[in-house]
A = this chain, B = another copy of it.
């Protein structure tokens, strides 16, 4: 992928929905913003990580907060751009490119809008390889790189620039500000030079999102798009079922909740319970954990195979729940400490989804 055009946005949005709900909210809301920007400013050039200059800066832009809020309070172009604007005189070196901080959720699409507006290329990479709910859950942080400066903005016209002590403080401060800003805000953080992006970035994830979209919508394969997807991503079918319970709360700048499903087809008689904090974090089948963060748990519409965000899970929906192994960077001791089950309050040790599901789970 050398350019992102309006024709790519649907596929990227489908892929981004599979890869997470994200602080950016619904990818199809983000898609509308990217579409408007591409129509106004033209297509966006895509840079591979290797093409980055070692010294020039890469700026990750996105939004933070509870998806329940961002889906209803759609940001204006000015609002998304405001944190970038707030930092324009801050650095002594040029910005070469924009980057998604996370490839899951609307935060894969907002940076495309921002790159179009700024006339900058976008990097085919991100710092999660999926979406995670907290801002320090990035591969930069795993390697010990802390955000030196963070900028935030809201729809009211408030602008904030802060210099956090470290990534964990950055998250605490960002979340408190997000909460007072009404549950959603726009943000630029983890601004690093190209050489650090080369060390930490998870490569080709914009291309991956597009490829996921293409796989799930390919007409010739309409009978087995999900199986094609699982083969492509070495993923696992977790459960086929119908949602019989869903609860969600917007609190502390997150959407938290739980859903339960009663099995259909191969899972008739089984129960699945899934916990979420913006992202689906832990799945228990008949009381036994079968997949957990940092591996990715995704909900697909059972009929169409299209991914569904945490926000749109609803009573009665038939769901095909799948799991994808996370990037190896998240399976290190540090990765598990930062985004594993214990961090989110589940008192279990991380076991990779392959070990939990083995061959039996693979479709």
Contacts and interface: CB of A to CB of B under 8 A. Distances in A.
A131 to B, nearest CB: 23
A71 to B, nearest CB: 23
Contact of A180 (B163, B176, B181): B176
A196 interface: no
A173 B159 CA distance: 10
A269 interface: no
Contact of A158 (B158, B164, B179): B164
A165 interface: yes
Contact of A157 (B159, B165, B175): B165
B159 A163 contact: yes
Contacts of A315: none
Given A176-B180, A177-B173, A162 B163 contact: no
Contact of A160 (B86, B157, B162, B175): B162
Number of copies: 2
Interface string A88-116: 00000000000000000000000000000
Given A176-B176, A176-B179, A163 B165 contact: no
Interface in A169-192: 169, 172-173, 175-177, 179-181
A158 B171 CA distance: 12
A158 B173 contact: yes
Given A177-B177, A179-B176, A163 B163 contact: no
A86 B149 CA distance: 12
Interface residues of A, number: 20
Interface string A9-29: 000000000000000000000
A326 interface: no
Nearest to A160: B162
A52 interface: no
Given A176-B176, A177-B177, A179-B176, A160 B158 contact: no
Contacts of A160: 160-163, 173
A179 B173 CA distance: 10
A175 B175 CA distance: 13
A156 interface: yes
Contacts of A159: 162-163
A181 B161 CA distance: 16
Contacts of A169: 156, 158
A35 B173 CA distance: 33
Interface in A124-178: 156-165, 169, 172-173, 175-177
11 contacts: A158-B169, A158-B173, A160-B160, A160-B161, A160-B173, A161-B162, A173-B180, A175-B180, A176-B176, A176-B177, A176-B179
Given A158-B163, A160-B173, 14 more contacts: A86-B163, A156-B165, A156-B169, A158-B162, A158-B165, A158-B169, A159-B162, A160-B162, A162-B162, A173-B177, A173-B181, A175-B180, A176-B176, A176-B179
